[in-house]
Amino acid sequence: MRPNTNSILCSVISRALWLVAFILAVLLIIPAIATPAPQAPAQSGASSNYDSQSFIQELMRLKSVLESASQSTDSLRTCRESLPPAWKVTVNSRQFTVPTDLLVTQLVKAERQPDLRAQKVKQAMDYLDALAAETASLSTQNAAPADSARTKLNAILSRPEYTHAVKETWWDKLRSRINQMLADAIDRIFSSVVRQASLGYILLWIAVCAAAVFIAYTIFRRWVRAARAEEMALQAAAIPVRSWQEWVYAATESAARADYRMAIHCAYWAGIARLQELGALSADRAKTPREYLTSLSKSKLVVPETLATRQNALQLLTARLETIWYGYHIATEADFRDSLTQLETLGCHLP
């Protein structure tokens, strides 16, 4: 005998319905189990707002708690953990946020350092007293009107001496407009540079090259100025400001010290001073030794019979000066004696 098809179908449907009901029940029960029960806030005052009076009372309460908890580490930890991250205090329509970091730091040190516990607790209590005093001071101050500062400023600016500072002239407007246009142009330039990397690199290298050229030009100009100053200093140092007798005396004195280089230098300028005294050379302080030699060859105040002799003597003195004084060659007594011979040729009557 075969089972009835309808009864089999009903049995399958009923089992499926039971399975669906079981799944729904599980889905409803699991979230309820997984969801933790709401816990009480660990910090009772974390979200509390205080006015001046209630905040002072809270500070005094904490101070009394610290007095009683200063002998126990656990009590200090409990007191510290009950503190909020910050207190929100409203004084005269102004809201302040007072952090508890400093107080927490003192309590942590008191917990970890028993030998300093009394000192740290005392500092924490002094901090609470200071907060209470500051709050009381703020609460006694009268709240200034919100627009009092603006009113005072307007009253000051309305005085006659500030009229020109308040009124904006056409020149001020034009200058502001020009500044705005320049700022917009620079902004557009830099915006395009940022969008185009290749253009940015080109401008960067142009700026680097320009800076390098400017630095090189500055260094070169300073070198040129230093060279000119040194040349002027050398020429100024070589200007004969003494008579030829004084130069001869300085030459013989240097030779007596065996400083033949200085002796030859003084002998040369003794000859120049003698020629200037005779009128054969002009007292031109800007001339170099070679220019003095050229001027002597063109001089019309020297007798033609003695011109060649004196020119030859000055030429020998100039060559020896350039070799020994400027070229730093070793000078000998023979060189100095020959220089004295040339001085006698130039007209210097030596003793």
54 and 121 share one domain: yes
266 and 312 share one domain: yes
pLDDT at 30: 52
**Domain assignment present for 162:** no
pLDDT at 85: 86
- 292-331 pLDDT per residue, tens: 888 887 776 665 657 778 888 888 999 999 899 988 899 9
**Domain assignment present for 104:** yes
Q: Which residue has the higher pLDDT, 111 or 239?
A: 111
**Domain assignment present for 338:** yes
What is the spatial distance between Cα 65 and Cα 91, in angstroms, rounded to a whole number? 25
Say which range, 5-14, 66-75, 84-93, has the weakest mean pLDDT: 5-14
Q: Tell me the pLDDT of the chain averaged across its residues.
A: 76
262 and 215 share one domain: no
- 207-256 pLDDT per residue, tens: 888 888 999 898 988 888 887 666 555 554 455 468 888 898 999 999 99
**pLDDT (average), residues 265-270:** 91
Instruction: Tell me the residue range of the domain where 321 lies.
Output: 238-346
**Domain assignment present for 28:** no
253 and 275 share one domain: yes
pLDDT > 90? residue 262? yes
**Number of folded domains that form the chain:** 3
Q: Which residue has the higher pLDDT, 132 or 197?
A: 132
Q: For the purposes of burial, counting CB atoms within 10 Å of the CB of 203, is it exposed (0-12), middle (13-18) or buried (19 or more)?
A: middle
**Domain assignment present for 326:** yes
**pLDDT above 70 coverage of the chain, percent:** 71
pTM above 0.75, yes or no: no
pLDDT at 139: 75
341 and 285 share one domain: yes
pLDDT > 60? residue 45? no
**Domain assignment present for 61:** yes
Q: Which residue has the higher pLDDT, 157 or 57?
A: 57
**Domain assignment present for 11:** no
User: Would you give the end-to-end CA distance of the chain in angstroms?
Assistant: 171
Rounded to 5 degrees, φ, ψ at 5 are -65, -35
- Name the pLDDT band for 42 (thresholds 50, 70, 90): very low
Q: Are 116 and 122 in contact (CB under 8 A)?
A: no
Half-sphere exposure of 120 (CA within 13 A, CB side): 21
- 117-126 pLDDT per residue, tens: 888 888 888 8
116 and 194 share one domain: no
253 and 338 share one domain: yes
**Domain assignment present for 37:** no
**pLDDT (average), residues 142-166:** 62
